[in-house]
Structure formats: structure tokens, C-alpha cells
Amino acid sequence: MLLSRLLGSEAPIAATAGSGTAALISVILARASRASAPRVLVSCYTFVATAAAVEQCGYQLHVIDIDETTGWLHPDKFVAHPVLPEVGLVLPVAPFGRA
């Protein structure tokens, strides 16, 4: 709560985690719960902690190609991915901090 207050909010808007993997697991469980749909689409340009977090939450990882110029998920590969109807979560990556 102190961190939230330092950021100017009385509501709890921030949390800390012991590692990036723990933070990813917390976000996945908070937003999508444990494996409501069995598959997750993830950018192929990511860190191994992303894959570990996805699997620890009970999902099956599927990677998507990235756009060569932006490093973001390639939109054409995303909409054409064969497991899209079974996807419960999409985990994009902001390469080099570019949102």
C-alpha cells in the first residue's frame, strides 16, 4: 500500500515480486486464472521466464513469429494461428521497452 501511496493513489495499484517469473505468474493468475483455456500465445522474442510462468500456471505455450521491423507479435501470424480458438491468454512482449 505504501508504494501505491507514493505513486499518488489510496487504492492498491502496485505490488512487488521477488522475481520477474513470480511477477508474471501473479499477473497471469490475477487476469486469466489457472488455465481456463489450455493454450497461451507468446511472442517468440521473449525471455525464458515467460515460458516458465505460463507452464507453472497450467497453460500450454505456443509461440508466434514477430514482425522483423518492430519486434512485436506479427498480426497476420496471430490471426492465422491454428490454435487461436483454444487460446485463453495472449502474452505480448514490448521489445526494448517500446509499448
Helices 20-32 and 48-56, axial angle in degrees (round to 10): 40
| Residue 97 confidence (pLDDT) | 77
Whether 10 shows a pLDDT value over 80: the answer reads yes
Cα(11)–Cα(33) distance, rounded to whole angstroms? Answer: 22
Which of the pair, 35 or 64, is modelled with greater confidence? Answer: 64
Percentage of the chain modeled with pLDDT above 90: 15
Provide the CA 24 distance to its chain's centre, in angstroms.
7
Say what the pLDDT of residue 35 is: 65
Q: Is a pLDDT exceeding 70 seen at residue 24?
A: yes
**What's the CATH code of the domain at 10?**
3.40.640.10
Range(s) of the domain holding residue 55? 2-97
Q: Please count the structural domains in the chain.
A: 1
pTM here is 0.74
Instruction: Please tell me the distance from the alpha carbon of residue 51 to that of residue 60, in angstroms, as a whole number.
Output: 9
